[in-house]
């Protein structure tokens, strides 16, 4: 893909994210938050583990960053395993977003929030120290490339999903009262 295609792709998703934030009240905060988090995780998954899976299976003739024939079989197996495990984790995060947030599970929000912190830290560290993804960072390779756009939109969507879907104290108290009443046989 070219930088222009990536930019248009990212702008299209940014418009979807903006629409979901604007429609959070009419469609419900939990539904909007679930979709925002799903979009964020999807964009990061396409840019990180899915791309890593491709690079591990492609050689330098297929992709200039392809590593299939450049690394040992053991290293390739570990890269493939890491990409597949990360894809599975992304599916689990999506499930937590749709099932956990939409049913008001505070623990789901916490797991999604901590996962976001880990993903954000990883992106910031690797962008700042390893590969700039097209950002003009001094001393970091990658100025002539692209890739920061979907990462930025993905992180923004995930963060906004956490803000929109943050459990309120009132909702937690109401859910706790309902659970307590049901446990006592009054619900």
* Domain limits, the chain: 3-183
CB 108 within 8 A of CB 33: no
Rg (CA), the chain: 20
Q: Tokens 């689990």 map to which residue?
A: 92
Give the pLDDT of residue 171: 56
How confident is the model over 89-128, as pLDDT tens digits? 999 999 999 999 988 899 999 999 999 999 999 999 999 9
Give the pLDDT of residue 104: 87
Mean pLDDT along residues 165-187: 56
In the chain, % of residues over pLDDT 70: 89
């Amino acid at each position: 893909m070219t930088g222009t295609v990536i930019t248009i792709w990212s702008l299209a998703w940014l418009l979807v994210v903006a629409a979901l934030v604007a429609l959070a009240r009419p469609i419900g905060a939990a539904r909007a938050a679930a979709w925002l988090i799903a979009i964020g995780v999807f964009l990061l998954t396409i840019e990180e583990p899915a791309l890593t899976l491709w690079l591990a299976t492609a050689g330098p003739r297929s992709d200039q960053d392809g590593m299939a024939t450049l690394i040992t079989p053991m290293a390739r197996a570990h890269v493939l395993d890491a990409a597949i495990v990360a894809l599975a984790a992304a599916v689990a995060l999506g499930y937590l977003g749709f099932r956990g947030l939409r049913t008001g599970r505070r623990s789901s929000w916490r797991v999604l929030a901590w996962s976001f912190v880990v993903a954000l830290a990883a992106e910031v560290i690797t962008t700042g120290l390893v590969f700039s993804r097209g950002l003009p960072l001094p001393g970091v390779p990658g100025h002539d490339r692209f890739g920061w756009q979907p990462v930025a939109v993905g992180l923004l969507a995930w963060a906004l999903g956490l803000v929109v879907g943050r459990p309120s104290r009132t909702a937690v108290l109401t859910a706790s009262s309902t659970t307590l009443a049901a446990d006592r046989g009054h619900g």
